[in-house]
Amino acid sequence: MTAWVAAGLTGLTLLVLTPLFHHLPNAVLAAIVMVAVAGLIDVRYPVTLWKQDPIEAAILVVTLTVTLTVSLPSGIGIGVLLALALAVRRMMVPHVAVLGNVEGVYRNVTRFPHAQTEPEVLVVRYDGALNFANQAHFRSTMNGLMEQRRPHLKLLVLQADTMSYVDASARATLRVLVNEWRAQGVKLCLAGAIGPVRDALAADGLLDSGDVCFQRNVNDALTEHRQPGSVPASHQVVAQQHR
């Protein structure tokens, strides 16, 4: 009812009462507007956002500045474009973590310096879909990390449960990389790949080619590497069927 009454009074004022406000000073009108929107302003939020994510806070400041100095449509347009640019940037350069063993669980070695790693095994988590936008980043990142482990590196385990999809362009890149790494004596194993990723790789022939091994988790991949054939076949079937 409050909203209906407010809307009715506003409509009545606009229709029949505007002549009464004709000689009202602009300063008074500005004060009315400022009082109306004062409750919409949260000064503490930009400070909090800066502590959480400086990039998003910078977008907020730019959007606000353009809105106040140019116009509202320009501010909204700039804000949308900057937000899209940030989203594309994060898609092109996903977070990548080298993992180590922490009491049987594989964690980011940067956050867990005491995590145990093996010279001949590199475990990596790639936090993003693998597509045309980040395939160059994937190639350079993987090759750079592998170069740090040579000449002892024998197995690259890619924890794939954070990869939501692999498009056609990325699959072609992955096939080239698999052949390059195999020629260098390094095998690729995908651990925990979800259904859509396995479906995409199966459509490209990588699932059944034998060039890439698939296991349900990192521990199974390492067990298979240390003792070939020690992982039960049922585990591999579960890894292929699990979504």
**What string of H, E and C letters represents the secondary structure of 39-89?**
CCCCCHHHHHHHHHCHHHHHHHHHHHHHHHHCCHHHHHHHHHHHHHHHHHH
Lowest model confidence (mean pLDDT) among 2-16, 180-194, 221-235: 221-235
Quote the distance between the C-alpha of residue 185 and its chain's center.
31
User: Residue 28 corresponds to which tokens in the numbers above?
Assistant: 């008074």
Look up residue 150 and give its amino acid.
R
Q: At what angle are helices 44-52 and 54-69 packed, to 10 degrees?
A: 140
Q: What is the pLDDT of residues 141-198, one digit of tens each?
A: 999 999 988 888 999 999 999 998 899 999 999 999 999 999 999 999 999 999 889 8
Q: Each residue of 212-226: b (16+ CB within 10 Å) or e?
A: bbbbbbbbbbbebbe
pLDDT at 215 over 50: yes
- Residues 118-143 have pLDDT tens digits of 889 999 999 989 989 899 999 999 99
Q: Which of 54-68, 206-220, 224-238 has the lowest mean pLDDT?
A: 224-238
Q: How far is it, in rounded angstroms, from Cα 191 to Cα 212? A: 11
The predicted pLDDT at position 180 comes to 92
Q: Left, alpha or beta for 103 (phi > 0: left; psi -120 to 50: alpha)?
A: left
pLDDT one-digit tens code per residue, 92-105:
999 999 999 998 88
Q: Contact at 8 Å (CB) between 177 and 130?
A: no
Please give the structure tokens belonging to residue 64.
């606000």
Model pTM greater than 0.75? no
Q: Tokens 């990869």 identify what position?
A: 163
Number of helices (H), then strands (E), belonging to the chain: the values are 11, 6
Q: Give residue 229's pLDDT.
A: 63
Q: How many residues does the chain have?
A: 243
Q: Which residue has the tokens 């009108």?
A: 29
At 239 the pLDDT is: 43
pLDDT band at 24 (very low <50, low <70, confident <90, very high): confident
Residue 232 has pLDDT above 60, yes or no: no
Q: Indicate whether 231 pLDDT > 80.
A: no
How does residue 36 score in pLDDT terms, banded at 50, 70 and 90?
confident
Amino acid symbol at 1: M
Residue 43 confidence (pLDDT):
82
pLDDT of residue 243: 44
Superfamily of 94-241 according to CATH: STAS domain (3.30.750.24)
Instruction: Please report the pLDDT score of residue 86 as a whole number.
Output: 92
Q: What is the mean pLDDT of residues 194-222?
A: 87
In this structure, the number of other CB atoms found within 10 A of the CB of residue 53 comes to 12
Tokens of 235: 């585990």
State residue 234's pLDDT score.
41
| 187-191, strands of its sheet edge to edge | 105-108, 95-102, 121-127, 155-159, 187-191, 212-215
**Domain spans, the chain:** 41-92, 94-241
CA distance 31 to 155: 69
